[in-house]
Structure 1
């Protein structure tokens, strides 16, 4: 057995560590606070794509951190030097060769004579982990069929947007949209035809309501054939009405699926979101749901504002 003090053995162990750390996308580092002298292992050089033969200066390496990550890291570093307490932070960096990555930085402090004289720790490339996390998050937040936000996401964002509207004087609208002929299409042509209707509806909602000034605050599929939209502020009653007429006209257009003409129709229930009324998110949703019920009772392609009589699209177009 080779002695642990054998220089050749120590060199082999160092080489083994460097190779393993490169594979794991991990490296160790330290910074002498008196001189600001940095020391990186090969693994850290690999994370930053930074050539080992170039000078290693802390001021230059700070430029690899994107702005927000650099500010957060510098703030936490200063606190670690003051308190002697380490930390871990996930930071966004742009490497020497210009590639954007996520890195997990761990920091510990070495104290001598009651003060921090050196900080050290590890750096690990977590880009793949972050990408996987974003994919899982997107899967959890999106309706798998249409790609729109799902009910859980809508509920959370809707309450935040409504609260902001009520506190800052905006005026917008909450829309609930239901497909009138969805069940007959499903029953006659099968679920694939119904799925095609849902995807077509999502695409048309994005096209029509995503183009209003400021863009749609939120478009979501919240049930089987039910969609919800929170329009941005500020939009007055008359303008909202015109936008909805265009949306209803777009949603009712038939389309061809597998050689079959599918006739679309929808009902839309609307309530205005206004700080003057002082209503909260749950009450507003109940109002929109009540308006949707009134629109469905008035017949296909009808729109109802809460507290007003529902009107079919043909009557509104004739009046216009």
Structure 2
């Protein structure tokens, strides 16, 4: 009796309950903990059809498929399923199931259910942290690289461009005003960049004061206009009682063309950015591709030159 009590308490503390469904009459039996998962009063009569309706459509589909296979083959399963309880609360339940046969037929399916809502919430928070740059709220370098590799390796649905953005004068902010002022500067930069290119497919912070934008473009001239919006939008003054620092922006851009590796496209845009920096900063440079490459990218992308750039004052 003492061991049974310890067993029950341990399962309750671990948020684990035991369930059983007799076959073929579909009669359910639960321990009190499972009732708690579904926000039902313990010992309330259970109708399986009504309980199944508490699962989200996707989880219901997965559960039915796993259950039918288990009954057919005798193989158990483990499934994480999302439910909306009788009181409207969203929870995640990890279901472990076994099947018992008698005279060659499935007699009952049974197992344990565990509340894994906290685990799922933590995993989702970690995923969001991995996807987002904590300081600016923009996408992280990891998320950028995954998306960039995906679109470079996929079929070309529409023409996109890569713009690498670098702040001019950021080092002066850190050196003279301190790292807190530097963090504030990056936050402002993130907001201004988002406002400058609201139709971007992705905006990410990929380094200290380095940002990347993936943006649709219909022509080289269109890409130049996008770069202009960025340079103009990311030009502001940081004023303090002792010092004023002008923040400007340099941009290097390239069209994302099928058949080129992400590494080559990134290097092309990065070289263009370096040329802007070398030429005096506060502007952009677009490295256009050859006519055949442009035609592969998009039929409307035509530009006779190899590159063009602009200084904005």
Deviation at 1:139, TM superposition (A): 3.2
Query: Paired residue for 1:191?
Result: 179
Q: What is the rounded CA distance, in whole Å, between the counterparts of 1:296 and 1:30 in structure 2?
A: 69
| Distance change >3 Å, CA 79–CA 234, structure 1 → 2 | farther
Q: Determine if contact 2:75/2:98 at 8 Å carries over to the other structure.
A: yes
1:156-171 paired onto structure 2 within 5 Å: 156-164=146-154, 167-171=155-159
Who is 1:288 aligned against? 269
Counterparts of 2:85 and 2:113, CA distance in 1: 13
1:308 has 2:307 as partner: yes
Q: Does the 8 Å CA contact 2:19/2:113 hold for their aligned counterparts?
A: yes
Partner Cα separation in structure 2 for residue 234 and residue 65 of structure 1: 43
CA offsets 1:123-174 (integer angstroms, 9 cap, x no match): 111111111222233334433322333222221221012223xx13310111
Structure 2 matches for 1:238-317, cutoff 5 A? 238-256=221-239, 261-275=244-258, 278-306=259-287, 307-314=306-313
Structure 1 residues 226 and 239, CA gap change in structure 2 (3 angstroms): same
5+ residue gaps, structure 2, are 288-305
Give the TM-score, by structure 2 length: 0.86
Mean CA deviation greater in 37-46 or 300-309: 300-309
Other-structure match for 2:293? none
Map residues 1-320 of structure 1 onto 2, 5 A cutoff: 9=1, 20-52=10-42, 54-164=44-154, 167-209=155-197, 211-212=198-199, 216-231=200-215, 233=216, 235-256=218-239, 261-275=244-258, 278-306=259-287, 307-314=306-313
Aligned-partner Cα distance in 2 for 1:35–1:169:
52
Are the structure 2 counterparts of residues 297 and 241 from structure 1 closer, same or farther at C-alpha, using a change threshold of 3 Å?
same
8 Å contact from structure 2 (residues 144, 204) kept in 1: yes
Q: Distance in 2 between matches of 1:124 and 1:53?
A: 19
Distance in 2 between residues matched to 1:52 and 1:223, nearest whole Å: 55
- Residues 234 and 294 of structure 1: is their aligned pair in 2 closer, same or farther, counting only changes over 3 Å? closer
Distance 1:223 1:266 in 2: 15
CA distance in 1, matches of 2:266, 2:76: 47
TM-score, with normalisation over the residues of structure 1? 0.84
Q: Which segment drifts farther, 124-133 or 250-259?
A: 250-259
Aligned length: 295
Greater helix proportion: 1
CA distance in 2, matches of 1:145, 1:296: 25
Give the distance between the partners of 2:245 and 2:70, measured in 1 at CA: 65
Q: Could you list the runs of 5+ residues in structure 1 that have no partner in the other structure?
A: 1-8, 315-320
CA contact under 8 A between 1:294 and 1:310: conserved in structure 2? Answer: no
